[in-house]
């Protein structure tokens, strides 16, 4: 690297003389596993030099690992190193998912001259986009533990449930048994300041002139970034050519996008399987070798419609046919639990009693997930936990026809709280005739950040505020006889840290208070879920 640090790389090359395009993957998860070997052989046998590199401070590479902070410069230096090798023809592509995806953006922003194309999967967003709460998410600590030191740490050796219960957040690493300075440093920045701006990319699409294939799954726990990045590049890419060469692929997957057909109890069929290596190969054959293989002529968006379990090709994201449709929250004042009287209706009620519940951070409403950071949530059944009274459930009658929902989901909520700061969570669900209550997508708002992360603003207890909750995206065919449901509560633990309802520091607060929450839904307060519905053809 430019500062003299040596980073280690494994290079897989065709067993033939000549110069070849290079594909680079830079990883904190160690370059010498069986999967890396298989991928290296796959591409070398097809005329590429594949380069796996341990990022700075991990595996065989020198230096200290500080997540994201060195990846832009190190990525640039490694791309240019690849281009200068005697086995390289000077054309370099990058690929990888999750951490390996986000650091491609950081390298691209450095403008390496020989970078030609990127393949970015399950990509994390800028700070506070997928975790809009002023913290990085409790399960981020699991990831920091896993990537501590030079080797992979055993996450199964830690009682994560006990870790996530620990307060204050600042010393949660003590419960793990490992000092993690990165955790504590990040918690010292509860607003989007210069510390975070140094590793942001989603406000810089106008600086990038590259073809990119964006890929994720509807149940990827970092899903929100992939459609945002595709749409951002289509709208703001540096050149017309860059804007025209974006592609989006979304399937019924979690953070691991290949090799499985089911999430939890939902099986999406063999057609949901993805030939990931073949998809990568076609992309790079076109952009690194100049092959006319149909990539340039395909529709830019390919989506898997869950419920129908079929693939759809679209000209844009969101699909142009999607019509923004509001379903309004309604009840007789007793929407508590799935046994309450909450309903979703086509027009806002003229006058209706508000719904109320108590949010106690000592007994948070759960988000169903395994405790480690490898996959946060899925197509889980929320029927059992909806028995609690601290969740409001609003449902349609059984549908008399199929309803196709494809695009971003949001909830407009009018709410008051007895606390100076609190949270509101919303989740979209498909209630099957069998009683299975399938989670589709969800989101949250932290009251102090209702206007963004430039500053924190407490709320006035008892005053009604309008909150917009981004529930990410889905593509679901709600079948005839199913019901559309929305649930509202004030925690989703441990996906998000608990709001202690005091307005004190997120990092150091330990004092808890119970919040009395009131959700309004009447003509003056038309709380609703906004669904992008595609009209069914006759």
Which residues, 6+ apart, have CB-to-CB distance to 173 below 8 Å? 141, 144, 179, 180, 183, 184
At 156 the pLDDT is 94
CA distance 29 to 313: 34
Q: Give the Cα-Cα-Cα angle 75, 258, 140 (nearest 5 degrees).
A: 55
The CATH code for residues 323-534 is 2.60.120.260
Q: DSSP strand E in 171-322: where?
A: 212-217, 246-251, 262-263, 266-267, 301-305, 310-314
At 538 the pLDDT is 41
Task: Please give the span between the terminal C-alpha atoms of the chain, in angstroms, as a whole number.
Answer: 61
CA distance 291 to 281: 11
Bridge partners, residue 324, by sequence: 532
470-507 pLDDT tens trace = 999 999 999 999 999 999 999 999 999 999 999 999 99
Return phi, psi of residue 190, to 5°. Answer: -85, -10
| Residues in the chain with pLDDT values less than 70 | 538
Q: How would you classify residue 57: left for phi > 0, otherwise alpha for psi between -120 and 50, otherwise beta?
A: left
CA distance 98 to 26: 11
pTM, whole model, 2 decimals? 0.96
Q: How would you classify residue 483: left for phi > 0, otherwise alpha for psi between -120 and 50, otherwise beta?
A: beta
CA distance 126 to 104: 13
Domain(s) labelled CATH 3.40.50.1820 in the chain stretch across 9-130+203-314
Can you name the CATH fold of 9-130+203-314?
Rossmann fold (3.40.50)
> With contact defined as beta carbons under 8 Å apart, do 496 and 444 qualify?
yes
Return phi, psi of residue 144, to 5°. Answer: -60, -40
The one-character DSSP state at 278 is: H
37-59 pLDDT tens trace = 999 999 999 999 999 999 999 99
> With contact defined as beta carbons under 8 Å apart, do 420 and 458 qualify?
yes
Structure tokens at 3: 């500062």
CA distance 198 to 417: 35
Helix (H) or strand (E) holding 356: strand 355-359
CA distance 208 to 237: 6
At 258 the pLDDT is 78
CA 366 centroid distance within chain: 19
Helix (H) or strand (E) holding 69: none
Q: DSSP strand E in 72-203: where?
A: 88-97, 115-121
* Number of C-beta neighbours around residue 211 at 10 A: 22
Catalytic residue IDs: 98, 220, 255
**Residue for token digits 């699409």?**
205
Domain(s) labelled CATH 2.60.120.260 in the chain stretch across 323-534
Q: Give the Cα-Cα-Cα angle 24, 25, 30 (nearest 5 degrees).
A: 140
């Amino acid at each position: 690297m430019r500062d003299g640090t040596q980073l280690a790389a494994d290079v897989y090359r065709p067993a033939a003389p000549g110069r070849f395009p290079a594909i680079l993957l830079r990883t904190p998860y160690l370059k010498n596993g069986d999967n890396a070997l298989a991928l290296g052989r796959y591409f070398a046998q097809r005329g590429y030099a594949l380069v796996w590199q341990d990022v700075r401070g991990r595996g065989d590479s020198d230096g200290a690992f500080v997540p994201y902070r060195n990846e832009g410069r190190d990525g640039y230096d490694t791309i240019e190193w690849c281009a200068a090798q005697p086995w390289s023809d000077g054309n370099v592509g990058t690929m990888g998912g999750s951490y390996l995806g986000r650091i491609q953006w950081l390298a691209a922003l450095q403008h390496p001259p020989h970078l030609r194309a990127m393949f970015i999967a399950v990509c994390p967003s800028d700070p506070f986009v997928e975790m809009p709460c002023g913290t990085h998410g409790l399960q981020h600590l699991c990831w920091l533990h896993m990537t501590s030191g030079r080797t992979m740490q055993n996450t199964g050796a830690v009682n994560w449930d006990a870790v996530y219960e620990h307060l204050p957040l600042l010393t949660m690493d003590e419960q793990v048994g490992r000092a993690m300075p990165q955790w504590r440093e990040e918690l010292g920045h509860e607003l989007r300041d210069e510390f975070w701006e140094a590793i942001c990319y989603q406000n810089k699409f106008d600086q990038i002139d590259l073809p990119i294939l964006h890929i994720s799954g509807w149940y990827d726990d970092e899903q929100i970034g992939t459609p945002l990045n595709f749409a951002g590049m289509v709208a703001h890419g540096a050149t017309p050519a860059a804007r025209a060469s974006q592609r989006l692929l979304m399937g019924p997957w979690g953070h691991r996008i290949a090799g499985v057909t089911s999430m939890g109890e939902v099986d999406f069929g063999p057609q949901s399987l993805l030939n990931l290596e073949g998809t990568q190969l076609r992309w790079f054959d076109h952009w690194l070798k100049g092959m006319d293989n149909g990539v340039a002529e395909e529709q830019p968006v390919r989506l898997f419609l869950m419920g129908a379990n079929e693939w759809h090709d679209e000209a844009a994201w969101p699909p142009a046919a999607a019509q923004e449709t509001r379903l309004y929250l309604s009840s007789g004042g007793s929407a508590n639990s799935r046994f309450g009287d909450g309903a979703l209706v086509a027009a806002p009620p003229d006058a209706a009693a508000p719904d109320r519940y108590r949010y106690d951070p000592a007994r948070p409403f759960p988000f169903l997930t395994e405790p480690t950071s490898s996959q946060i949530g899925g197509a889980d059944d929320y029927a059992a936990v909806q028995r609690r009274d601290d969740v409001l459930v609003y449902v349609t009658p059984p549908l008399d026809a199929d309803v196709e929902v494809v695009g971003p989901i949001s909830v407009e909520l009018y709410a008051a709280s007895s606390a100076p700061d609190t949270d509101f969570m919303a989740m979209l669900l498909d209630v099957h005739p069998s009683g299975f209550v399938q989670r589709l997508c969800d989101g949250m708002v932290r009251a102090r950040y209702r206007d963004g992360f430039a500053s924190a603003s407490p709320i006035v207890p008892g005053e009604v505020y309008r909150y917009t909750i981004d529930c990410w995206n889905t593509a679901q065919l709600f079948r005839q006889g199913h019901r559309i449901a929305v649930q509202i509560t004030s925690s989703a633990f441990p996906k998000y840290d608990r709001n202690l309802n005091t307005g004190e520091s997120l990092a150091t607060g330990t004092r808890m208070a119970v919040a009395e929450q009131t959700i309004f839904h009447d003509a003056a307060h038309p709380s609703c879920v906004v669904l992008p519905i595609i009209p069914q053809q006759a």
